[in-house]
Amino acid sequence: MRLRFWGVRGSVPTPGPATLEFGGNTPCLELQGAGEDVILFDAGTGIRPAGIDLLARAAGRPLRIHLLLSHFHWDHIQGLPFFTPLFRSNSHITIYSSGFSAALSEALHGQMSAPYFPVPFASVAARVDLVELGSRTATIGSVSVTPVEVNHPQGACAYSVESDGVRFLYAPDREHGDARLDAVLQEAARGATVFVSDAQYTPEEYEAHRGWGHTTWAESARVAREAQVKSLVLFSHDPSHSDELLRRIEKDARREFADTFVAKEGWEFEL
């Protein structure tokens, strides 16, 4: 199996010459090689190129897509109205959320209601099923996906994903400092093959952003080290972080946890 990163930026898309190397689309991650069904995590603007690619790969065949949303802040759903499989009648899309954020149906219908979008969510051509997981595990073919509560304004989850003895933890938005939820995340990360972690701030920047719902590359490295994960992937890059700064962050983070990578748009990571 492998992960493909369609969007890696946090908060807001950041196109431009300073972000060409690492990318400017907001979060979307694809798990490939786990069967015929497509598994996606989050629907930031990265889901738009993902949808175009999926249709090209399907070559007219029906698509069955499973989309797991961590929460409903704009950067995690803003690409969904532009996800082309949503407007194809031979697509079957199941959208999941946890019990740690807002109501799924209300959030998605509200996003595509007038005057914000011309096509109502209820009018899309695809067959769409909505699944409120609560804290239950979803089974998608050989893959099990379990929501993990994290500390984030208005609630959010990480996802612990396992298949054939390989496990990764996707934690795109979380802030450290809540003792209970820090312990929950630490346990979920323990022994993971890959830990995809929010690393929006440098330690110096964090002091001015306490309570904003994000953590630092240094905290992510600490969790990875103490949980004995195999590889750490830094994710949810701040809109102000240029390619040059992200290269420096990767270098600094590797001093704390050697097997660290900064996520790049279009990058594929073997599990």
CATH number of the domain where residue 141 is located: 3.60.15.10
Residue type, 133: L
CB atoms within 10 A of CB 142: 11
| Widest Cα–Cα separation across the chain | 51
CB of 126 closer than 8 Å to CB of 81: no
Phi and psi angles of residue 84, each rounded to the nearest 5 degrees, phi first: -60, -35
Q: How confident is the model at residue 35 (pLDDT cuts 50, 70, 90)?
A: confident
Q: Is the pLDDT of residue 242 over 90?
A: yes
Compute the distance between CA of residue 51 and CA of residue 49 in angstroms, rounded to an integer.
5
pLDDT for res 34: 83
pLDDT for res 133: 97
Domain count, the chain: 1
Which helix (H) or strand (E) covers residue 256, if one does?
helix 243-256
Instruction: Report pLDDT digits (tens) over 137-183.
Output: 999 999 999 999 999 999 999 999 999 999 999 999 999 999 999 99
Preceding peptide of 15 cis, ω within 30°: no
Instruction: Report pLDDT digits (tens) over 100-119.
Output: 999 999 999 999 999 999 99
Mean pLDDT throughout 217-238? 98
Compute the distance between CA of residue 250 and CA of residue 49 in angstroms, rounded to an integer.
26
Q: How does the average pLDDT of the chain come out, rounded?
A: 97
Domain limits for position 243? 2-270
> Which residue's structure tokens are 């690393």?
199
Q: Which of 250, 271, 246 is nearest to 24 (CA)?
A: 246
User: What tokens does 190 get?
Assistant: 């323990």
pLDDT for res 251: 98
Residue type, 135: S
